[in-house]
Structure 1
Amino acid sequence: MTETAAGNPTATASAGARTAAAVAAEFVTPALVERLTRGVTGSGTVAVHSPLTGEALAEVPEAGPPDVVAAFERARAAQRAWAARPVRQRAAVLLRFHDLLLRDQDEVLDLVQLETGKARLHAHEEVQAVALAARHYGRRAPAYLGPKRHTGALPTLTRVTELRHPRGVVGQIAPWNYPLELSVGDALPAFAAGNALVMKPDSKTPLTALWARRKLVEAGLPEDVWQVVVGPGGVVGPEVVRHADYVSFTGSTRTGREVAQGAAARLVGASLELGGKNAMLVLADADVEKAAEGAVRAAFASAGQLCISVERLYVHESVADAFLARFVARTRAMRLGNTLGYGADMGSLVSGQQLETVTRHVEEAVGKGAEVLAGGRPRPDVGPYFYEPTILDGVEPGMTVCDEETFGPVVSVYRFRDEDEAVDRANATPYGLNASVWTKDGRRGRRLAARLQTGTVNVNEGYGAAYGSVQAPMGGMKDSGVGRRHGSEGILKYTESQTVAQQRVVPLAPFTLGPLRYDDEGYAAFMSRGLRALKALRFR
């Protein structure tokens, strides 16, 4: 394995490391591709490349608009029988998938690394996230989806039940950066709710999603319930939105707006997790050693290609020097790895386009006066799209890296004097996805967290604590999205609610009951007395 410490000499290779080319040749065989693409149709083919080598991994079917229509037809036909199964049977499929995922994780870890170039530990974060979601919805789906009794208009006389029905066929558009978690992780609650799914994975990373589909089929999901269509986003994406009963999208804010407009035109719902320019706040009482270690995870996991990673770092001026000394040292010591196996601290960017964006943001900032404290250069000696983990100081408004999402291993450092200033600066962005607060006082950290305009806030962690707590909702405010994944919101969004109210004994209108006769005026008086009584009895 080539493992290079950023800015330092080549480090010792990890034991058991395997080259990407060797694994691709031995594992990504025509037989594997044929098995993964079984049931996936297309009018052409598209090549999948590995960013670790720049070489082609495989060719998969490429869909056009007619293929998308056919996929929705198959999904609709299969969905009826799937929805007719008791929810506990559907949930049991998720629990079996959980076990298969953990049993065969080395296969999917290889695929994630080959398709994204990320370090294996960061690929394992995806396995962890999907296993958590599978277990949670496998256990909790019956409770989330079961009939709910509510107090009626007239207690005891009006019996009210809330039912949950699947929406039908969900259209999912998944990104390349987390090809396991952001494909099957979002699909699991949709399946538990009784939906079928037509998913468009990114053309850079379809093999991982197709592997997950095969494992779900092995766990008991009917094959046609999950359709996969691979193709250009500008062609296949709008077709998915055009035919879906609900849309799940993760990607850029710009594309998210287009998806939202397409869904709104058809009056179908959509959940959108979009971009972020996430802030980490290091308070005056923070443990700077732990904060520096956490900042490395928060900023450079998956080479910064993570919507919830930290790109803005606000440090109290009293601890800035001590923190930066530790953070810079840790960043400079990070190992870049281009092989498959544990041991590397960071992997590759996914493409030449991502490398160009990162390089441009850093070079422009430096040209306008920013200082590079660590990193700051591509590493073609490690792989075609590698870039060193980079810390910038002296970033000012007007620099692209200050305001726009870089989506790479680049973090900018800013100093602040008081917490009000830090909160104001952290909130001064159109985005609102994730934030991180570091302090020795947990209560203080939680109070400050509540003032930040983000969907999730982690105290003394970068992003994993909130994201991994799957009973709680996760999503964005402002330009970072609409809707939530995880928790009750993460599954109920895939359903339509229906209220069934049964009126008994007397109608909600003037009535006669034995000797009691209520005309219009009498009925109005009867209801007024009842409303006063219900308030006095503290009915909700």
Structure 2
Amino acid sequence: MTTLPLPANEIVRAYAPGSTERARLKAALTTMSGNRASLPSIIGGKAITTGNLETAVMPHLHAHVLADAHLAGAADVKAAIDAAKRAAHDWSQTGWEARARIFLKAADLVAGPWRYRLNAATMLGQSKTVHQAEIDSAAEFADFLRFNAHFMTRLYAEQPISAPREWNRVDYRPLEGFVYAVTPFNFTAIAANLPCAPAMMGVPVVWKPSPNAKLSAHYIMAVLQEAGLPDGVINLVYGDAEMVTRIVLDDSGLAGIHFTGSTGVFDHLRREIAAGSYRNMPRLVGETGGKNFTLAHASADVDALAIGVIRGGYEYQGQKCSATSRLYCPRSLWPTLRDRLVDEIAQIRVGDVRDFSCFMGAVIDRRAWSRHAEAIARARRDSSHTVLTQGEPDDCEGYFTPPTLIETQDQNSPLMREELFGPIITAFVYEDARFDEILGDIDQTSEYALTGAIFAQDSAVLEHAQAKLRYAAGNLYLNDKSTGAVVGQQPFGGARASGTNDKAGSLWNLTRWVSPRTIKENFIPPADWRYPSIEPDASI
């Protein structure tokens, strides 16, 4: 049997001053920001330009237009579905080796000649700093492709036992129909993985990217085409989300949805699917919201805790699904931790991500910025909340929300329950003796269960806390920040209102895109229909 090279995580480059990668990335940023691109939909392998344009801008300099996307109309969406259906027969019959070859080549293109273009598109279009872009659009994108190919072979190798004179086997058939991939703005790698995972398993895809990640979606598609992806296997459709989704959900050939986005939208999709009529029951795979916690015990290392809170809550402007947004700290540690956090936060540089000294860029758009500005203003008006940090939201040139730390006396405050998806952390200070009660409160305060972090030097406390919080997070970190899942190391996903927990970048996710068929072959069939038990007893 053919085997693949064992995957290894792509090395994250440092972009240190004077390095070759720093110079090449800066050159890519200059070129890309100086050229206004045209972004067609890609349907059946063809570039579709409609003339109905929507701009893509820099969130950190929103007057600067990077590109114009050609929005698909209803006829174009139907054409994308038809293209996927036409591709289905040949693609589903294509051997796994040929499918793997395409995506492994794409991984090498991502890690090599396309690296700086992908990083530049992610930085400019989604306002990621150089490090945040590198770990996403270069390293994680390549990791998803390489590890999924490996997981695919592991899945195919999972076969039943056979009795003598028989051969039992499982045919991991691609789902019958097409998958609808709905992808977010916050991770280029996730935007790539959601269409690529079902496609790797032999299922064609209609892909609707986020309107706030149009530029990077364009480059993802270009990489896949260069790698040799056949026409129609993945169809990239820019367009109105409601219109595109309505047409897709009305098609009886829909076999599944691969989704990352808000809980409300995913709930809507689930209800629509339940009311629809399909040839097969569509598979629903969704990663949605989070209200992720960091819990400190009195034995915690305050230095490690402070770093975990800052990185976990403020990297990429708190716009990671896994970002810390609620902090529980014992009163004995709070004065030291509070002062440390306030001092460190004051040193965080926020600005244009082309300035590599910035730790944070802008939030993604005006709607997000307004939501954050209102939450901070509401906290200032509420006597049970204290805003501990300086800085005010500013949208004059870019959508800048400062890293904000709020202390609340109300552990059931909306700031402790509701997802803001921004650089706002709300802290609740508990009495040290109430540690056990706080564990129960953390589990019940929010509807979400995506990630969480526990800081304690006492190993017995870690064991006790993780047992009590077993269902409070799909990814739990001990003495580490709540973010940063790495493909192949920490499969990612959560439950409750955070999604279906199908663990992106894992074998479990790939099982959702196949429909197993069990085959039994009998080499020597029986010669008589009678069983020995029905023979008469011997005469005495």
Task: Please indicate the TM-score interval, normalised by the length of the shorter structure.
Answer: 0.7 to 0.9
Name the structure 2 match of 1:143.
154
**Kept after mapping to 1: 8 A contact 2:185/2:212:** yes
SS of residue in 2 equivalent to 1:245? strand
What is the CA-CA distance between 1:278 and the residue it aligns to?
Answer: 0.7
Contact 2:144–2:487 at 8 Å: present in 1 too?
Answer: no
**Match of residue 456, structure 2, among 427, 431, 439:** 439
Aligned twin of 1:71: 80
Q: Is the aligned partner of 1:345 residue 2:359? A: yes
2:272 corresponds to: 262
Q: Match of 1:218, as an amino acid?
A: E
Corresponding residue for residue 100 of structure 1: 109
In the alignment, the residues of structure 2 paired with residue 471 and residue 83 of structure 1 have an alpha-carbon distance, to the nearest angstrom, of 30
* Structure 2 residue corresponding to 1:500, chosen from 519, 535, 540: 519
Deviation at 1:195, TM superposition (A): 1.4
Of the candidates 346, 370, 389, which is equivalent to residue 374 of structure 1? 389
Distance 1:109 1:469, change over 3 A: closer
Seen in structure 2, the aligned counterparts of structure 1 residues 40 and 395 have a Cα distance that, compared at 3 Å, is farther
Write the distance in 2 (CA, Å) between the matches of 1:316 and 1:439. Answer: 11
Q: Equivalent residue for 1:230?
A: 238
Tell me, yes or no, if structure 1 residue 53 matches structure 2 residue 61: yes
Deviation at 1:289, TM superposition (A): 0.6
Q: 1:435 to 1:208 in 2, by over 3 A?
A: same
Change (3 A) 1:68 1:487: same
User: Residue 335 of structure 1: SS of its match in structure 2?
Assistant: coil
Cα deviation code 1:203-223 (max 9, x no counterpart): 221121120111112122113
**Structure 1 pair 281/117, CA: closer, same or farther in 2 (3 Å)?**
same
Aligned pairs for 1:200-279 within 5 A: 200-243=208-251, 244-264=254-274, 265=276, 266=278, 267-279=281-293
117, 130, 145: which one pairs with 1:134? 145
Structure 1 equivalent of residue 172 of structure 2: 164
Residues 119 and 337 of structure 1 are in contact (CA less than 8 Å); yes or no, is this contact kept in structure 2? no
Over residues 492-518 of structure 1, what are the superposed CA-to-partner deviations in whole Å (9 max), with x where a residue is unaligned?
1111122223457677xx9426xx362
Deviation at 1:402, TM superposition (A): 2.7
1:263–1:269 CA contact under 8 A, matched in 2? no
| Cα deviation 1:179-231 (Å, max 9, x = unaligned) | x1221122332222111111001122112112011111212211321101111
Matched, 1:184 2:192: yes
Give the 3-state SS of the residue equivalent to 1:212 in structure 2: helix
Which residue in 2 is equivalent to 1:125? 135
Alignment of 1:330-341 (within 5 A): 330-341=344-355
Q: Which residue of 1 aligns with 2:401?
A: 387
- Which one is further off, 109-118 or 468-477? 468-477
Cα deviation for residue 296 of structure 1 reads 0.8
Asked whether the 8 Å contact 2:191–2:209 carries over to 1, the reply is yes
Partner of 2:16: none
Alpha-carbon distance between aligned partners in 2 of 1:435 and 1:278, rounded to the nearest angstrom: 5
Q: Summarize the Cα distance change of 1:151–1:102 in structure 2 as closer, same or farther, 3 Å threshold.
A: closer
Equivalents in 1 of 2:154, 2:167: separation in Å? 20
- Structure 2 CA distance for partners of 1:54 and 1:23, relative to 1, 3 Å: farther
CA distance 1:449–1:375, change in 2 (3 Å): farther
Q: Secondary structure at the match of 2:250?
A: helix
Residue-by-residue CA offset, 1:78-112 (whole Å, 9 max, x unaligned)? 23222222212211222211211122221111111
1:349 aligned counterpart, secondary structure = coil
Deviation per CA, 1:448-475: give whole Å up to 9, x if none: 234322111111222345x214365421
User: Could you tell which deviates more after superposition, 78-87 or 155-164?
Assistant: 155-164
Match of 1:5 in 2: none
Counterpart of 2:436, as a letter, is D
Structure 2 unpaired stretches of 5+: 1-21
| 1:29 Cα deviation after fit | 4.0
Q: 1:70 Cα shift?
A: 0.6
- Tell me whether 1:402 sits opposite 2:419 in the alignment: no
- Using a 3 Å threshold, how does the CA distance of structure 1 residues 500 and 34 change in structure 2: closer, same or farther? closer
Tell me, in whole angstroms, the C-alpha distance in 1 between the residues paired with 2:348 and 2:482: 20
TM-score by length of 1: 0.85
Quote the offset at 1:45 in angstroms.
2.4
Counterpart in the other structure of 2:479: 460
Inter-partner Cα distance in structure 2 for 1:93 and 1:52: 35
CA distance in 2, matches of 1:70, 1:35: 11
Is the partner of 2:415 in helix, strand or coil? helix
Aligned residue identity for 1:263? I
In the alignment, does 2:499 pair up with 1:481? yes
Residues 403 and 410 from structure 1, CA distance in 2 versus in 1: closer, same or farther, beyond 3 angstroms? same
Letter in 2 for 1:171: Y
Q: Is 1:518 aligned with 2:529? A: no
Query: What is the TM-score normalised by the length of structure 2?
Result: 0.85
Shift of 1:170: 1.2
Number of aligned residues: 496
SS of 2:232 mapped into structure 1: helix
Amino acid at match of 2:386: E
Partner of 1:535: none
Code of the residue aligned with 2:152 in structure 1: it is A
AA in 2 matched with 1:88: E
Q: Does the CA-based 8 Å contact 1:247-1:263 persist in structure 2?
A: no
- The answer to whether the 8 Å contact 2:201/2:513 transfers is yes
Q: Given that residues 246 and 270 in structure 1 are in contact (C-alpha distance below 8 angstroms), is that contact kept between their aligned partners in structure 2?
A: yes
CA contact (8 A) 2:41 2:71 kept: no
TM-fit CA distance, 1:442: 5.4
1:244-273 CA distances to partner (integer Å, 9 max, x unpaired)? 311011111111101112233343111111
The CA RMSD over aligned residues, in Å, is 2.8
What does residue 82 of structure 1 align with? 91
User: 2:93 and 2:487 mapped to 1: Cα distance?
Assistant: 30
Residues 295-304 or 109-118, more deviating: 109-118
Are the structure 2 counterparts of residues 161 and 349 from structure 1 closer, same or farther at C-alpha, using a change threshold of 3 Å?
Answer: same
The code of the aligned residue for 2:511 comes to: L
Structure 1 residues 303, 137: closer, same or farther in 2, change over 3 A? Answer: same
Match of 2:317 in 1: 303
Residue from 103, 114, 127 that aligns with 2:124: 114
Partners of 1:409 and 1:20 lie apart in 2 by 28
Secondary structure (helix, strand or coil) at the match of 2:55 reads strand
Q: How far did 1:336 drift?
A: 0.7
For residues 60 and 31 of structure 2, the distance between their equivalents in structure 1, rounded to whole angstroms, comes to 12
Query: Is residue 321 from structure 1 mapped to residue 299 from structure 2 by the alignment?
Result: no
- SS at 1:406's partner residue? coil
Amino acid at match of 2:199: F
Q: 1:316 offset after TM fit, Å?
A: 2.1
- Give the aligned partner of residue 14 of structure 2: none
Change (3 A) 1:42 1:26: closer
1:346-376, CA deviations, whole angstroms, 9 ceiling, x for partnerless residues? 1101111111100111111221121111145
Q: Which amino acid aligns with 1:163?
A: D
> Is 1:421 paired with 2:432?
no
After superposition, the Cα gap between the structure-2 partners of 1:330 and 1:495, relative to the gap in structure 1 and judged at 3 Å, is same
Quote the Cα distance in structure 2 between the aligned partners of 1:91 and 1:163: 17
Alignment check: 8 A CA contact 1:279 1:434 kept:
yes
* Greater shift in the superposed pair: 445-454 or 87-96: 445-454
Unaligned runs of 5+ in 1: 1-14, 523-540
